[in-house]
Structure 1
Amino acid sequence: MSAETPIRIGVQVQPQHASYEKIRETVLRLEELGVDIAFNWDHFFPLSGDPDGLHFEAWTMLGAWAEQTERIEFGTLVNCNSYRNADLQADMARTLDHISAKGGTGRFIFGTGAGWFQRDYDEYGYEFGTAGSRLRALADALPRIEARWAKLNPAPTRKIPVMIGGKGEQKTLRIVAQHADIWHSFVEPDEVAHKLDVLARWGDEVGRDVSEIVVSNELGRGRTVEDAEAFHAAGVRLFTIGISGPDYDLERVRRWIAWRDAQNG
């Protein structure tokens, strides 16, 4: 990752415990504040608080975000590969790309992963399987998605960026090396260098220069500027912040935007 690559801020608007009206308002405010990317998540139930609280489906709302926004990129952090046919995912992503283009290029980022939240699987009738089987399914799906993008008419307006979440060294990082434009994880600053070494070894094996992959990591609550600077020194350039309903407090977002702007000059 080049030292000149600018720092970007992504905010995950967790679609739980809030009305959709509040979610819509929050996304517009994030765009006004200058956030680079708005994310949601791909689950069917809240992950914190009341497990049966208010909740909304990810891909449906992405269509609304594509239409209501003008500048901000958007996507899911991250899509669960298990819930939708691979070719359908490709077509949905291409459609969001065009909805968001508005005379230019699209703004959709295809974030994806193998899935992990068993309640989603059980209640919606998907086979949970094992971590290994879900990762194999993701590895099988990505070539299909890329092949479908090459066949669709009209084609995507740009090379849709693929963001893959996860840190497993034996399978996930190999998939990242093969397919990702952005790698997202939740590791500590002192773990990043080792993970990037592993990623580089997989890049050598699959024949790809992985230095072109943007490194993303979460800035969770309690993270300090010192933490962010340590992540940056290790190669992280996309920092994500999670906010939850019902209120979606944006004060922490404002502070990190100010830090981004100071760092980018």
Structure 2
Amino acid sequence: MTERPVRIAVQIAPQQADYVAIRDTVQSLDGLGVDVIFNWDHFFPLYGDPDGRHFECWTMLAAWAEQTRRAEIGALVTCNSYRNPNLLADMARTVDHISGGRLLFGIGSGWFERDYTEYGYEFGTVGGRLDALADALPIIEARWAALNPPPTRRIPVLIGGGGERKTLKLVARHADIWHTFEQGELFAHKLGVLRAHCDTVGRDLDSIEISVGVGGRGREGRTPEPPEVEGGPLHDLGARLFTMNCRAPEFDVSHVEPWLAWRDALNAS
């Protein structure tokens, strides 16, 4: 199998800033050559002022689809609970066309209770939300097959999370990309569980791109330098999409540039 290239992704939290600042940051990242630009699917800020400025995910992605030229775009991740799965599939297909085939479809079961209570969704239980996601994924895939026009390509599906009994089983069945924040031995363990689920459904784990969150400015702690990843378990065990964040109000992207240089050198070797 051809070696999968290393890619660099940045998540922009759509909170605590005017939209023009978010737009300008997306423009900068696309110009720098970032491979993927993510937002997230919430209705209120997760960090800082809980009632601060915040913008909706999918209308923003449609704007990014027109604004960008190179980077893939997507949500890290869409909440399955907030939209009818047939409607969500149609929304994704539309953004896919607007972007010229650069949408990544990140989806998860949801977790932020305030989103649910203030917007009138039933919060339920973790297991119930995961079961609803399992029901929705085949509906989304079937709707993509039925739409006219169809998506420009087989839209890559990203599923995040590490639940060993349900989430990783969904990854094995439906995902092109698995996203995790795990590190070290726990990362290796989760990969082993995912491999077992892939074996059960007759799928090669190597067909799934592994995305790892490597932090970034705006969160606690420092951003790890690329050599630390290159020589550590993340890259050695198969991680190829390295995802960091870029947060308001500064939206400083300087920490991304060493990762892009590392990516280019590694992919050229």
Structure 2-normalised TM-score?
Answer: 0.94
Residue type at the aligned position of 2:229 = A
- The 2-side partners of 1:182 and 1:80 are apart by 16
Q: What residue is the counterpart of 2:11 in the other structure?
A: 12
Once the two structures are superposed, residues 230-252 of structure 1 have per-residue CA deviations (whole angstroms, 9 ceiling, x without a partner) of 21001100000111111201111
- The 2-side partners of 1:34 and 1:189 are apart by 28
Q: Is residue 188 from structure 1 mapped to residue 183 from structure 2 by the alignment?
A: yes
Contact 2:42 2:57 in 1 (8 A): yes
Q: Is residue 147 from structure 1 mapped to residue 142 from structure 2 by the alignment?
A: yes
SS of residue in 1 equivalent to 2:3: coil
- The 2-side partners of 1:80 and 1:87 are apart by 14
Q: Is residue 42 from structure 1 mapped to residue 37 from structure 2 by the alignment?
A: no
Q: What residue is the counterpart of 1:122 in the other structure?
A: 117
- The 2-side partners of 1:144 and 1:100 are apart by 23
Q: What residue is the counterpart of 2:204 in the other structure?
A: 209
Q: Which structure 2 residues correspond to residues 71-150 of structure 1 after superposition, within 5 A?
A: 71-101=70-100, 106-150=101-145
Q: Is residue 253 from structure 1 mapped to residue 256 from structure 2 by the alignment?
A: yes
- The 2-side partners of 1:118 and 1:16 are apart by 17
Residue type at the aligned position of 1:254 = E
Q: What residue is the counterpart of 2:166 in the other structure?
A: 171
Q: What residue is the counterpart of 2:54 in the other structure?
A: 55
- The 1-side partners of 2:263 and 2:151 are apart by 30
Q: Is residue 228 from structure 1 mapped to residue 223 from structure 2 by the alignment?
A: no
Question: Structure 2 vs 1, CA of residues 236 and 3 (structure 1 numbering), >3 Å: closer, same or farther?
Answer: farther
- The 1-side partners of 2:196 and 2:237 are apart by 17
Deviation at 1:255, TM superposition (A): 2.0
SS of residue in 2 equivalent to 1:197: helix
- The 2-side partners of 1:98 and 1:224 are apart by 36
- The 1-side partners of 2:264 and 2:186 are apart by 26
Residue type at the aligned position of 2:267 = N
> In structure 2, which of residues 173, 194, 200 is the aligned counterpart of residue 199 of structure 1?
194
- The 1-side partners of 2:124 and 2:248 are apart by 31
Q: What residue is the counterpart of 1:67 in the other structure?
A: 66
Contact 2:212 2:239 in 1 (8 A): yes
Unaligned runs of 5+ in 2: 217-221
Once the two structures are superposed, residues 195-229 of structure 1 have per-residue CA deviations (whole angstroms, 9 ceiling, x without a partner) of 12111111122222222000000011422435412
- The 2-side partners of 1:256 and 1:190 are apart by 23
Shift >6 Å, 4+ stretches? none
Deviation at 1:64, TM superposition (A): 0.4
Moved more, 114-123 or 196-205: 196-205
> Aligned residues: percent identity?
62
- Structure with the greater relative contact order (CA < 8 A, sep ≥ 6): 1 or 2? 1
Moved more, 79-88 or 196-205: 196-205
Deviation at 1:3, TM superposition (A): 7.4
- The 2-side partners of 1:64 and 1:219 are apart by 27
> In structure 2, which of residues 239, 244, 247 is the aligned counterpart of residue 241 of structure 1?
244
- The 2-side partners of 1:201 and 1:133 are apart by 24
Cα root mean square deviation, aligned: 1.2
Once the two structures are superposed, residues 127-185 of structure 1 have per-residue CA deviations (whole angstroms, 9 ceiling, x without a partner) of 11111001000000000000000100001110000000101101000000000000001
Deviation at 1:253, TM superposition (A): 1.1
- The 1-side partners of 2:127 and 2:210 are apart by 24
Equivalenced residue count is 260
Q: What residue is the counterpart of 1:159 in the other structure?
A: 154
- The 2-side partners of 1:138 and 1:227 are apart by 35
SS of residue in 2 equivalent to 1:160: coil
Question: Structure 2 vs 1, CA of residues 43 and 33 (structure 1 numbering), >3 Å: closer, same or farther?
Answer: same
